[in-house]
A and B are shown apart, each in its own frame.
Chain A
Amino acid sequence: MDKFTELTAIAAPMPTENIDTDQIIPARFLKTIQRTGLGKNAFAAQRYDAEGNENPDFVLNQEPYRHAEILITYDNLGCGSSREHAPWALLDFGIRCVIAPSFADIFFNNCFKNGILPIRLPREICDELMDDARQGSNSRLTVDLERQVIVRPNGETIAFDVDPFRRHMLLEGLDDIGQTMAHDAEITSFEHRPSRAWVPSITIGTSK
């Protein structure tokens, strides 16, 4: 996973609530067995018409937002399916930071696992940032994870909260499996607790 430290980038305004993961990446594109290559189909239903031509009204088809690395939306971003293909599609498009008043839990979690920083901010502040984003290419936002601030184009800083453990993982670009495996002895000891004796084991044929 790539580290996330500081990002200065174009932000795309998407003033919509409840952007679900089916919108971010429709199910018919989930047949891949890879993590990459989903960016071209991110927001497919809104981005392309039935013939596959770009819809000029959709924000990510417009300059400079084709190069956006930050997305700003309204409440409940990423609701719906647990598909990690949603953050994979955003990442493959180039998005490294998503800002919204609230997020669906699984999507929020999936973002961190892929080096995307999700930031919760009150709706009024999202509206201000949305206004900044509408200014286009002269109006880049800086997201500084080390200092936990967003720097607006006018120089004003907005502080944000982030879970310390997740911040650490992002700043260092760490794989949490390795971290958990360091607790192997505790996991093994848990598995041998007498109170767990009732939990049955499963065996069935693994062949066809």
Chain B
Amino acid sequence: MPVTNSPRTLFDKIWDDHVVERLEDGTCILYIDRHLVHEVTSPQAFEGLRMSGRRVRRPDATVAVVDHNVPTSDRSKPIEEPQSRLQIETLEKNVAEFGVPYFPLRSASQGIVHVVGPEQGISLPGMTIVCGDSHTSTHGALGSLAFGIGTSEVEHVLATQTILQKPAKNMRVSVEGKVGPGVTAKDIMLAIIGRIGTAGGTGHVIEFAGSAIRDLDMAGRMTLCNMSIEAGARAGLVAPDETTFAYVKGRPFAPKGEAFEQACDYWRSLASDEGAYFDTEVTLAAEEIVPSITWGTSPQDVLPITGAVPSPSDVADPARAAQIQRALDYMGLEAGQTIAGTPVDVVFIGSCTNSRLEDLRAAADVLRGRHVAEGVRAMIVPGSGLVKHAAEAEGLDKIFLDAGFEWREAGCSMCLGMNPDRLTPGQRCASTSNRNFEGRQGPGGRTHLCSPAMAAAAAVTGRLCDVRELVKETV
């Protein structure tokens, strides 16, 4: 339903195709194709429906899974923490009462909601996808408009299958050229956030474009879109292409046969038109991106692994200087020190950012024939039961266990420290997750965000280090 003949962006097209009605002040009633639900941000929404006698309008467009608050240890035992158990039981009661499709804890398909959606073909190109979680932007990798919402909006979508919103502004981030050895989608995204800042994308939807993005596989595109929110954007997306279609084809809930071909035709038509208007354009040269690591307590506090930690005296704004000092104090780092060589206590490979099979392979490539340094706790938490199974079929589990890693069950785990997987005060962690906020991985915990290969390298050497040094002979 084109509203205009002028060239449109990918975002504009998906938006236009989902506007049910435009209200007087420009707010749109936007139709939602997929609503993903998890245990932490939904109980109050279901309770709201119950109190007002409302039903779930489209259970067949809704899917629930437990991930944030589940233990990643032995699943044959009951959940120990009573509050966590109650939250999971509450979701089970709600999905049963409202007829919502559900992947329970012991299902082979259970996993992190942003891994499960694409993996099952529940999330598809051209769709609008929401979930009560900011990393819903992950699904934008398929060429869908996917964004996180609060619990009040979860209730709104459950009841009406729509959301009230005004259109976002368009931003295009182009990464042109070829990345060097050891540089991954995570490094690209950290470099982008370092460039535009954690509020750089506020009010915008980011389309990632350019040859370095086209070259990424779907897992890499998901890593990229996942962290759009860390750049402040409402959503991130990549135009669907043959890589996307090959990924989607044959997934359990994807269209089949003739319907799939027709859908592909539609999806192909979604790419941004030549001459479409972007409110903001940013371009990066792929060759200039190196393996990256965060030093501070915001994802924009990013450095090349070869770099040095900033100093408060580097900046003119006293508030910013105070913030740098506070971050240095919290992180236990000295102004101006090189980041490489900093000893780590914990290595966490997992989260909706980096827990897919491709991420585990990248870690295994570093870990093969090597062992975790003494005194380092290292854990791998696969993104879903299916990822875990596939990794085991390739023998990756053996590489991880031989290297001294813990090989755990699927869930959000130490990304946000809701379940028992937490840092203790002062512990330093090389983490493949998405946020390095104070206390994010446990009170007083110190997080350094990096790629799975970099995290694996830190585990082996016991220090933050340049993975390219470690795998010189292979990369």
Contacts and interface: CB of A to CB of B under 8 A. Distances in A.
A124 to B, nearest CB: 13
Given A80-B134, A198-B262, A27 B418 contact: yes
A155 interface: no
Given A187-B160, A202-B61, A28 B417 contact: yes
Interface in A1-51: 15-18, 20, 22-23, 26-28, 30-35, 45, 50
Given A16-B323, A27-B417, A106-B149, A22 B440 contact: yes
Contact of A180 (B92, B134, B150, B156): B156
B109 to A, nearest CB: 9
B338 interface: no
Contacts of B388: none
Contacts of B96: 206-207
Interface string A151-167: 00000000000011100
B12 interface: no
Contacts of A87: 150
B101 A17 contact: no
A201 interface: yes
Nearest to B300: A18
A100 to B, nearest CB: 11
B161 to A, nearest CB: 7
B418 A198 contact: no
B437 A82 contact: no
Nearest to B416: A27
A74 B159 CA distance: 36
B148 interface: yes
A177 B101 contact: no
A33 B44 contact: yes
Contact of B439 (A45, A79, A181): A45
Contact of A109 (B25, B150, B199, B439): B150
Tell me whether chain A's interface is mostly helix, strand or loop, or mixed. Answer: loop
Interface in B421-459: 422, 425, 435, 437-440, 443-444
Contacts of B147: 106
Nearest to A48: B443
B232 A106 contact: no
A81 to B, nearest CB: 5
A110 interface: yes
A115 B102 CA distance: 32
B60 A202 contact: yes
B83 A106 contact: no
B73 interface: no
A186 interface: yes
A17 B103 contact: no
A84 interface: yes
Given A26-B439, A105-B234, A198-B266, A82 B20 contact: no
Contact of B151 (A45, A84, A200, A203): A84
Nearest to A199: B33
A33 B90 CA distance: 8
Contact of B134 (A45, A81, A164, A201): A81
Interface residues of A, number: 61
B438 A177 contact: no
B159 A181 contact: yes
Given A177-B159, A180-B29, A187 B319 contact: no
A50 B439 CA distance: 12
- Chain B residues touching A, range: 35 or more
Interface string A75-107: 110011111100100000000000000111110
Contacts of B255: 198, 200
Contact of B160 (A163, A181, A198, A204): A181
B199 A198 contact: no
Given A76-B199, A79-B232, A15 B319 contact: yes
A201 B60 contact: yes
B202 A105 contact: yes
Nearest to A176: B164
Interface string A137-163: 000000000000000000000000001
Contact of B41 (A15, A45, A83, A180): A83
B87 interface: yes
A53 interface: no
Contacts of A58: none
B263 A198 contact: yes
Nearest to A16: B323
Given A34-B44, A80-B134, A106 B148 contact: yes
A30 B162 contact: no
**Which of A186, A201, A202 is packed against the most chain B CB atoms within 10 Å?**
A202
A32 B44 CA distance: 9
A74 B199 CA distance: 12
Interface string B124-163: 1001000011101000000000011111110110011110
A183 B153 contact: no
Instruction: Give the one of B100, B147, B152, B444 with max A CB within 10 A.
Output: B152
B43 interface: yes
B280 interface: no
Output the residue of A23, A33, A34, A190 with the most chain B CB within 10 A.
Answer: A33
B234 to A, nearest CB: 5
10 contacts: A16-B323, A32-B83, A45-B443, A82-B148, A84-B151, A84-B152, A113-B152, A187-B31, A187-B162, A204-B103
* Shortest 7 CB-CB contacts between residues of A and residues of B: A113-B152, A33-B43, A82-B148, A84-B150, A110-B150, A31-B83, A201-B60
Interface of A: 15-18, 20, 22-23, 26-28, 30-35, 45, 50, 74-76, 79-84, 87, 102-106, 109-110, 113-114, 163-165, 176-177, 180-181, 183, 186-187, 190-191, 195, 198-208
